Structure 1
């Protein structure tokens, strides 16, 4: 009986030890569920921190058409990262917006001026002229090349000797020729077949960078004669000496005011505003073409005065050239 009691006591002791061990094991396994419960919270907080992006925004209203000063921009950390946004103020500073931007608006690439306009230097203008295979050096011109612009002015069939060809503009940069442009827009096409088709298509226009005060020469020359582009080596910096030739008179003249000092020659936009006449371009500023009376008589002409109908005392015959037409007036 005593042995049975001892056996039962031993069994109870072992059972108590087993239960204690089981309880200890449960106490050791309890923290992991708590850690598992807090794990997603920490991961979520880290994910939220990782989804915050530095974005350049307007620190004050930015008007369209004016360069953005650096102090008008700041970097904010946003939960969104717009396509084309800037992360560095220095990259966006100096760019020109195409539309008004309110304060706090993210500054993006598609809101700023881009393309060929950024390739034009200060004081220059991009001018397009008609082009063909002959005018464009056999279609060998490429954007970035430098050319001389020659002009051919043809008189009427009776006065072939009055036709002239001369240098109109020197060392002008080609911004675009046909579909190719210095801003690389043609190279953005991923389709190689379309790129080859663009290169094979004959060019119809050439875009040149021209100082604003020389734009009148190019436009009048394009309207009055035939232009020819001569390709030159970009390292050749030679240009004609402007001191050798008189400056052409302008179509408009500033009013002369008594007592005021003589004005300096017009330059830049002022000279562009003053304009140029076709007659001055053709004659070099000497006015209508003049023939002496001997030359007139040699051709069978008889200059007369308007008042008497007799021989003109001046003995001059004036040819007024208007574009491709010429008109002779006797004096």
Structure 2
């Protein structure tokens, strides 16, 4: 019995010795020193302050994160908010302003959004004003100034009338002055908000487009609505030439609209609007044979797009 008690006490002492030995080992360990961060340098403080100040001066702009098709409402995953040093005029500044709205044309990734992004109409409709019409004119290397026309140029539309039975004397005149070129072939200019009407092209695509522009056979002009019929008549009765005007004429953009001289220009163009056969009649009236004859009233006869003057 004594031997069992002795063995129990020995085991208990052994367990206690192990426990207190482990506890002493834990207490004897030194705590790891806390790493002390180096004090910030003056350069880092200045850089952090400048970054914070610059971030506060930047303005948020809503952009597309990927290409979006037309006629599909935008969702939040289509949009991102970027901070730019200078925000484009009219750009949206909050994603909530674009969510749920439907673009009417395809938009590319990276495009910043404004109200024009959701405006209806194609590229040409967004390149003209409410008092203008886009009219295509057939051209060749001679009519189109040797293929050197570019969107944004201003041209005078010249009309040449050949001598024939209905027109005894050939003549030339300026049919409509200061027409803005909207497109040459498939190359378009800028929209009314100053943005390219077509997406940004790579260098290879731009070279191919320039080659097609040189060989283009159509030019689209912005014609004032009041002179549209005059321009259409000129394209049908004679040969056209497009005479390029100098870029130094800084007021050409306001020639037909935008200032007080526009009305005078329209009145001057309409006052010179006459039937083209009257040029020949005027020359005949000044001939010696006509000077001795008594004037007779002339009757204007219209057959389709041809106008003739007949004296009974």
Q: TM-score, normalised by structure 2?
A: 0.53
Q: Secondary structure at the match of 1:11?
A: helix
Which of these residues, 275, 284, 291, is aligned with residue 281 of structure 1? Answer: 275
Q: 1:288 to 1:199 in 2, by over 3 A?
A: same
For the pair 1:329 / 2:310, whether they are aligned, the reply is yes
Instruction: Tell me the equivalent position of 2:91.
Output: 91
How many angstroms does 1:120 deviate by? 1.2
How many angstroms does 1:281 deviate by? 3.4
Instruction: Tell me the equivalent position of 1:120.
Output: 128
- Structure 2, gaps ≥5 residues long: 25-60, 64-70, 106-117, 191-195, 256-260
For the pair 1:222 / 2:230, whether they are aligned, the reply is no
State whether residues 167 and 280 of structure 2, in contact with CA within 8 Å, keep that contact through their aligned partners in structure 1.
no
For the pair 1:182 / 2:189, whether they are aligned, the reply is yes
Q: Secondary structure at the match of 2:124?
A: helix
For the pair 1:151 / 2:159, whether they are aligned, the reply is yes
Instruction: Tell me the equivalent position of 2:16.
Output: 13
How many angstroms does 1:197 deviate by? 3.8
For the pair 1:81 / 2:76, whether they are aligned, the reply is yes
Separation (CA, whole Å) in 2 of partners of 1:293 and 1:316: 17
Instruction: Tell me the equivalent position of 2:100.
Output: 106
RMSD over equivalenced CA pairs, Å: 5.1
State whether residues 248 and 281 of structure 1, in contact with CA within 8 Å, keep that contact through their aligned partners in structure 2.
no
Which of these residues, 136, 142, 154, is aligned with residue 134 of structure 1? Answer: 142
Instruction: Tell me the equivalent position of 1:168.
Output: 175
Separation (CA, whole Å) in 2 of partners of 1:144 and 1:165: 26
State whether residues 127 and 207 of structure 1, in contact with CA within 8 Å, keep that contact through their aligned partners in structure 2.
yes
Q: 1:14 to 1:323 in 2, by over 3 A?
A: same
Question: Bigger relative contact order, structure 1 or 2, given CA contacts below 8 A and separation 6+?
Answer: 2
- Structure 1, gaps ≥5 residues long: 22-53, 57-63, 65-77, 94-103, 250-275, 304-312
How many residues of Structure 1 are paired with residues of Structure 2 in the alignment? Answer: 225
How many angstroms does 1:189 deviate by? 4.3
Q: 1:84 to 1:248 in 2, by over 3 A?
A: farther
Separation (CA, whole Å) in 1 of partners of 2:159 and 2:310: 26
Instruction: Tell me the equivalent position of 1:199.
Output: 210
Q: 1:165 to 1:320 in 2, by over 3 A?
A: farther
Q: TM-score, normalised by structure 1?
A: 0.50
Instruction: Tell me the equivalent position of 1:32.
Output: none
